[in-house]
């Protein structure tokens, strides 16, 4: 029998705008998160592991690569993909990161830029969760500025030779394959590297205070030899990785709302039951002001995410729309987590409550997939027509 069904904060009934199919997908993921993720997440974080059962369950539910069509992929709407991200991230940002990387960063480039053989070979097993993928773009010295990456590929006639290193790679150590971006004759190209390719290793990065239930790795290529048919034929230049990032960032704009809702729920419940000066602290104006502010920001974020979903589904979006939603929703989620910690008082630091975990996770989410500041610069460029990323024109 089901445990207590989760009722999400949805002040403006935004979810009533979803299709019945989208709502059914929401309920499926929501129930799974309640039953399998929330009871186990703190242990996973303490142990610093991504539970393998979650990979299996995501594959069985059929949500990986949600908006991709064909090749045994789910073929859902982008709105449904957003809803899935939100429900997963109510559990934990590390879980949502797993799904984002698998779907938007590893499956998507193969689906959009891969050869027919590559699509048939990789996508069905990635949609089922059997094969995990990761995405290698960021390097130790090139984060916000990936265009100057050092990793390079050389055409050796009958194979390519990769040399270089990637860092901050979600799923790296547990991945069967990596979509790696490297310069071939000075042009950025995508390559599929498999875990047993000679000269490739993916050591795990330890010591994170954030996204502890997610695996983060380095990818190291030392004369890594890969067959010629592993290059992604369909794209050249930064457009390749940026198309992937647009989809992942879109998912994050929904996902962050899941974290924000978890923090709001916990803060509300705590405020209603915590007695100080003979009354629940929820009866005091300063606490009500905080809760009211949280509800206001979550409601605005929901409308932003929903409308962006419609724009993704109708193909009327521009990357700047995604920058705004990613930046705003992660920003408010992090601030909501901090205010929620405040409402919880000292209890807020314990893992009996989800607050500190979400807060620490959101510090990463604010930085990855385009930092908060970079998204501001993307919008700044849109407003003024002047790029402010670099001093060199």
The stretch near another protein (CB under 8 A) out of 1-9, 132-140, 179-187, 247-255 is: 1-9
Least distance CB 66 / another protein (angstroms): 8
Phi, psi of 304 (to 5 degrees): -60, -50
Q: Parallel, antiparallel, or unpaired: how do β-strands 159-170 and 187-194 relate?
A: unpaired
Considering only 1, 286, 386, 393, the residue that binds another protein (CB under 8 A) is 1
Least distance CB 3 / another protein (angstroms): 9
Considering only 48, 75, 124, 199, the residue that binds another protein (CB under 8 A) is 75
The stretch near another protein (CB under 8 A) out of 54-62, 139-147, 189-197, 254-262 is: 54-62
**Per CB under 8 A, 165 contacts another protein:** no
* DSSP three-state, residue 154: strand
| Alpha-carbon span 302 to 296, nearest angstrom | 10
Least distance CB 63 / another protein (angstroms): 6
- The DSSP call for residue 152 is E
* DSSP three-state, residue 276: strand
Considering only 32, 71, 168, 270, the residue that binds another protein (CB under 8 A) is 32
Nearest partner of 210 among 101, 367, 370, judged by Cα: 367
> Angle between the 239-273 and 93-100 helix axes, to the nearest 10 degrees?
160
The stretch near another protein (CB under 8 A) out of 20-28, 318-326, 350-358, 374-382 is: 20-28
Residues in binding contact with another protein, number by CB under 8 A:
20
Residue with tokens 């849109």: 382
Residue 74 or 348: which CB sits closer to another protein?
74
Residue 125 or 159: which CB sits closer to another protein?
125
Expressed in percent and rounded to 5, the helix, strand and coil fractions of the chain are 55, 15, 30
Phi, psi of 297 (to 5 degrees): -70, -40
Residue 66 or 211: which CB sits closer to another protein?
66
Nearest partner of 149 among 221, 84, 217, judged by Cα: 221
| Alpha-carbon span 261 to 284, nearest angstrom | 21
Residue 66 or 169: which CB sits closer to another protein?
66
Compute CA distances 203 → 99, 169, 220, whole Å.
Answer: 21, 10, 8
**Per CB under 8 A, 206 contacts another protein:** no
**Per CB under 8 A, 2 contacts another protein:** yes
**Per CB under 8 A, 275 contacts another protein:** no
**Per CB under 8 A, 74 contacts another protein:** yes
| Alpha-carbon span 94 to 87, nearest angstrom | 12
Among candidate residues 22, 42, 139, 369, the one labeled active-site is 369
The stretch near another protein (CB under 8 A) out of 73-81, 254-262, 359-367, 379-387 is: 73-81
Give me the DSSP letters along 36-91: IITTTHHHHHHHT---HHHHHHHHHHT-TTTT--STT-----HHHHHHHHHHHHHH
Least distance CB 18 / another protein (angstroms): 13
Considering only 9, 17, 61, 161, the residue that binds another protein (CB under 8 A) is 61
Considering only 42, 62, 79, 100, the residue that binds another protein (CB under 8 A) is 62
The reply to whether 204 belongs to the active site is no
Considering only 4, 346, 386, 393, the residue that binds another protein (CB under 8 A) is 4
The stretch near another protein (CB under 8 A) out of 16-24, 181-189, 277-285, 306-314 is: 16-24
Give me the DSSP letters along 186-242: TEEEEEEEETTSTTEE-PBP---SSSTTS-EEEEEEEEEEEEGGGB-TT--STHHHH
Residue 20 or 392: which CB sits closer to another protein?
20
Q: What binding mask, one character per residue, do residues 185-204 give for another protein by CB under 8 A, x or -?
A: --------------------
**Per CB under 8 A, 66 contacts another protein:** yes
The stretch near another protein (CB under 8 A) out of 60-68, 208-216, 220-228, 355-363 is: 60-68
Q: Are 181 and 188 in contact (CB under 8 A)?
A: yes
| Alpha-carbon span 332 to 325, nearest angstrom | 11
* DSSP three-state, residue 382: helix
Would you tell me which residues interact with another protein (CB under 8 A)?
Answer: 1-2, 4-5, 7, 20-21, 24-25, 28, 31-32, 60-63, 66, 74-76
Catalytic positions are: 369
């Amino acid at each position: 029998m089901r445990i207590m069904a989760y009722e999400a904060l949805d002040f403006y009934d935004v979810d009533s705008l979803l299709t019945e199919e989208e709502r059914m997908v929401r309920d499926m993921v929501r129930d799974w998160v309640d039953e399998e993720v929330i009871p186990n997440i703190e242990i996973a974080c303490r142990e610093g592991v991504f539970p393998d059962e979650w990979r299996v369950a995501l594959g069985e539910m059929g949500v990986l690569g949600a908006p991709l069509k064909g090749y045994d992929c789910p073929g859902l709407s982008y709105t449904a993909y957003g809803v899935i991200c939100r429900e997963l991230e109510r559990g934990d940002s590390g879980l949502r990161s797993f799904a984002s990387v698998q779907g938007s960063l590893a499956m998507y480039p193969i689906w959009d830029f891969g050869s027919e053989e590559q699509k048939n070979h990789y996508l069905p097993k990635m949609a089922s969760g059997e094969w995990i993928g990761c995405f290698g773009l960021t390097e130790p010295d090139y984060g916000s500025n990936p265009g100057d990456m050092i990793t390079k590929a050389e055409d050796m006639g009958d194979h390519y030779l990769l040399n270089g290193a990637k860092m901050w790679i979600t799923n790296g150590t547990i991945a069967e394959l990596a979509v790696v971006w490297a310069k071939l004759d000075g042009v950025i190209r995508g390559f599929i590297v498999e875990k047993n390719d000679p000269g490739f290793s993916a050591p795990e990065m330890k010591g994170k205070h954030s996204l502890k239930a997610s695996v983060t790795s380095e990818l190291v290529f030392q004369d890594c030899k890969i067959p010629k048919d592993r290059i992604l034929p369909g794209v050249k230049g930064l457009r390749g990785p940026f198309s992937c990032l647009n989809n992942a960032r879109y998912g994050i704009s929904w996902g962050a709302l899941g974290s924000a809702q978890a923090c709001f729920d916990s803060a509300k419940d705590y405020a209603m039951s915590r007695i100080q000066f003979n009354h629940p602290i929820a009866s005091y104006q300063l606490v009500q002001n905080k809760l009211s502010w949280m509800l206001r920001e979550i409601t605005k974020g929901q409308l932003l995410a929903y409308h962006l979903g419609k724009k993704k589904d109708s193909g009327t979006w521009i990357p700047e729309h995604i920058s705004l939603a990613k930046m705003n929703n992660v920003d408010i989620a992090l601030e909501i987590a901090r205010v929620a910690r405040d409402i919880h008082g000292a209890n807020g630091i314990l893992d009996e409550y989800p607050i500190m975990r979400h807060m620490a996770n959101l510090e990463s989410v604010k930085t990855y997939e385009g930092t908060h500041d970079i998204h501001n610069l993307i919008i700044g460029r849109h407003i003024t027509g002047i790029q402010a990323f670099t001093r060199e024109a």
